[in-house]
Amino acid sequence: QVEFDFFDGAAPVSIAQLKQMEKHFKELSGDVKDATVSVQVGSNQGTGVIVTRDGYVMTAAHVIGGADRPAIIKLPDGTELEAKTLGLNRQFDSGLLKIKAKDKYPYLSPGVSSELKTGQWVMAIGHPGGWEEDRGLVDRIGRILNNGDSAISTDCSLVGGDSGGPLVDMNGDVVG
C-alpha cells in the first residue's frame, strides 16, 4: 500500500487512500475535540476553542458580544466552568474569554491561516444547536474554497451553535 499526501489537497483515487484519509480524520477529531468547548454568554450560545494551557478561549465576537461579561464554558464531558469575556475584534468576528478556574486545560495551537491554499483539507468542529450530552461535538470535513485577506471560505457546513468553533488543518492547528 502506497501512502499518499492529502495534507495539501490531494483527493483519494482508491479505496485504500480513502481509508487512509478516514483513519487520519478520526484521529484528528479525537485530538481536537478535547479542546473544543461550548460557550454561553447571556442568551448567546456558540462554540469555542481553548488556545492556552491556562484556559484562554477563542470564539466568535458575535457569541460574546462585548468585554467584561460573565460566561459559562462547558467542557466536552459536560463540566461547566465560569469564565469572563476579555474582548473582541468585530472586523474578524473573533473574541477571547478566560476560564476563571486555575487548571491545566487541553488546548490547540494556532496555525498560520495565511498559508492555507485552495483545495487544502480542513476540519470544522462545533455544537450545532448548542451543547447536547447525547450528541457531543460534530465535526465536518471540507476544503478551503478561498483564503482572502479577512475571511477563509470552506465547504464545511455550519449551523447555529457552531459559531466560534475551530477550523483546523490536518496537523490539528487552529487556522480559523
- How many CA within 13 A on the CB side of residue 89? 6
- The two most distant CA atoms of the chain are separated, in Å, by 55
DSSP 3-state assignment of 3?
coil
Instruction: Count the neighbouring beta carbons within 10 Å of the beta carbon of residue 35.
Output: 23
Q: Does 163 qualify as catalytic in the annotation?
A: yes
Contact in structure between 137 and 127 (CB atoms under 8 Å): yes
- Catalytic residue (choose from 29, 38, 94, 163): 163
Q: Does 93 qualify as catalytic in the annotation?
A: yes
**CA Rg value for the chain:** 16
- Catalytic residue (choose from 34, 62, 153, 173): 62
Contact in structure between 93 and 60 (CB atoms under 8 Å): yes
- Catalytic residue (choose from 24, 31, 34, 93): 93
Which residues are known catalytic residues?
62, 93, 163
